[in-house]
Structure 1
Amino acid sequence: MTNRTMAIVAYITLIGWIISYVNYRQSNEKSAFVQYHLTQSLGVMILSIILSVASGILVGILPSLATLFYIVSLLPLVLMLMGIITASNNAERPVPLIGKMVEGKFSL
């Protein structure tokens, strides 16, 4: 798997992230590009889990705002698509909103 492919697959669900991570760890030449996108996609997945839990709790408390919470829950999907576009362009730009926060936080 090429570095670009590993970076793109990292954004496609948790299974894609695991596949990219295993391929990255088994490769002889560790690419900073792949590591950067693995970190960014992990940050997006953590945000997705947090938003999902918070949305579930808040919908239980305020059911009248359910539509708003479901729209906000689409944010991780948009961030993943932006990450895929960035990875396919061979660029290392942070994902909006959370990209700067997760840079350098995880040691892969």
Structure 2
Amino acid sequence: MDKKTTDIVAYLTWIGLLIAIFLGDREGSKFHINQALVIWIAGLLSVIPCVGWVWGIFCFVCAVMGFIAALNGEEKEVPLLGKIKLLK
């Protein structure tokens, strides 16, 4: 897959993220793969009642923002979660 396709697929689902990591342009798409990974891991906290639901909505909005940035070919960090780097 090329860089733009890998960027977009990373935000779709957990399966899309795994496809982006293993089959995509990992070096070129490192920013979006890292950001999608952080968003999906942070989204796991949405199972907590009440507060977690608000956090889940926030993570969904972050995923949509990242997806739109990937569509436009930009590397914009999402709020709060964008500074976290899991992949080197």
Query: TM-score by structure 2 length?
Result: 0.85
Counterpart for residue 62 of structure 1: none
Instruction: After TM superposition, give the deviation of residue 69 of structure 1 in Å.
Output: 4.3
2:14 aligned partner: 14
- Partner letter of residue 32 of structure 2? H
Question: How far apart, in 1, do the equivalents of 2:82 and 2:65 lie?
Answer: 11
Deviation at 1:89, TM superposition (A): 1.0
| Cα RMSD after superposing both structures | 1.9
Aligned length: 88
Q: Which of the residues 69, 83, 87 maps onto 1:100?
A: 83
Unaligned runs of 5+ in 1: 60-65
Residue 30 to residue 98, structure 1, CA distance change in 2 (3 Å): closer
Aligned: 1:30 with 2:13: no
TM-score by length of 1: 0.71
- Structure with higher helix content: 1
2:59 counterpart of 1:79: no
For 2:54 and 2:41, the matched residues in 1 are separated by: 18
Query: Gapped runs of 5+ residues in structure 2?
Result: none
Larger radius of gyration: 1
